[in-house]
Amino acid sequence: MSNQVVSETEVMALFREAVQQVLRNRGDCVSETTTEESACSPVVVAAMNEDMKWLEQEQFRVILLNTKSEVLEIVTLYQGAIDRSVIRVAEVFKTAIRQNASSIICLHNHPSGDPSPSKEDMEITGKIKEAGELLAVPMLDHIIIGRHGYYSFKNHGDI
Burial (CB count within 10 angstroms: exposed 0-12, middle 13-18, buried 19+), residue 71: buried
CB neighbour list of residue 51: distance below 8 Å, 6 or more residues apart: 11, 15
**What count of other Cβ atoms lies within 10 Å of the Cβ of residue 18?**
17
Secondary structure (3-state) at 73: strand
The string of DSSP codes covering 24-51 is: HHTGGGG-TT--SS-SHHHHHHHHHHHH
Largest Cα–Cα distance in the chain? Answer: 51
Domains in the chain, number? 1
In a domain, 2, yes or no: no
* Per-residue model confidence as pLDDT tens for the chain (159 residues): 444 554 556 656 656 666 665 555 544 444 433 333 344 556 666 667 777 888 888 899 999 988 887 888 889 998 876 555 678 899 999 999 999 999 999 999 999 989 999 999 999 999 999 999 999 999 999 999 988 888 989 888 888
* Sheet with 139-146, side-by-side order of all strands: 71-79, 59-65, 103-109, 139-146, 149-152
In a domain, 24, yes or no: yes
In a domain, 130, yes or no: yes
In a domain, 110, yes or no: yes
In a domain, 158, yes or no: no
Distance, in Å, from the CA atom of 41 to the CA atom of 142, rounded to the nearest integer, reads 9
Print the domain residue range for 104. 8-29+37-152
45: domain CATH number is 3.40.140.10
In a domain, 159, yes or no: no
pLDDT recorded at residue 38: 42
pLDDT recorded at residue 56: 84
In a domain, 1, yes or no: no
In a domain, 3, yes or no: no
The string of DSSP codes covering 111-123 is: TTS--PPPHHHHH
**What count of other Cβ atoms lies within 10 Å of the Cβ of residue 33?**
5
Secondary structure (3-state) at 109: strand
